[in-house]
Amino acid sequence: QKEVEQDPGPLSVPEGAIVSLNCTYSNSAFQYFMWYRQYSRKGPELLMYTYSSGNKEDGRFTAQVDKSSKYISLFIRDSQPSDSATYLCAMSVGRDDKIIFGKGTRLHILP
């Protein structure tokens, strides 16, 4: 079983829809959870990170961690064509530790 699993997509949704992106993981010791966004021909950029369980909200984006299920989610409300990108989840055990990246989900928001 891979440490971090992420559906590669592509995921296509109409503009204005709520998007749900997910990752599962196998290492119960992970405590730091991140979401990166990567536009075409660009490097990944940090979108959000959370520590331990719970939700974190930033504008239209909500990151959710369910440690009991080893499952993390990123929700995008009122999706826009500019949200079209690849979204990578990432996680680590300690705050200084090596980051394990998911392979990314390609998202297309249709105007």
Partner 1 sequence: DADVTQTPRNRITKTGKRIMLECSQTKGHDRMYWYRQDPGLGLRLIYYSFDVKDINKGEISDGYSVSRQAQAKFSLSLESAIPNQTALYFCATSEGPGQGDLAVAKNIQYFGAGTRLSVL
| Residues of the shown chain interacting with partner 1 in the complex, contacts defined by CB under 8 A | 8, 32, 34, 41-46, 49, 51-52, 88, 92, 94-99, 101-104
Nearer to partner 1 by C-beta: 79 or 92? 92
Give the list of residues 6+ apart from residue 81 with CB closer than 8 angstroms, or none: 15, 109, 110, 111
Residue 97 CB, shortest distance to partner 1, in Å, is 6
Residue 59 CB, shortest distance to partner 1, in Å, is 19
Nearer to partner 1 by C-beta: 39 or 71? 39
DSSP 3-state assignment of 82?
helix
Distances (CA, A) of 28 to 3, 96, 104: 10, 17, 21
Q: Is 14 exposed, middle or buried (0-12, 13-18, 19+ CB in 10 A)?
A: exposed
Nearer to partner 1 by C-beta: 79 or 102? 102
Residue 10 CB, shortest distance to partner 1, in Å, is 12
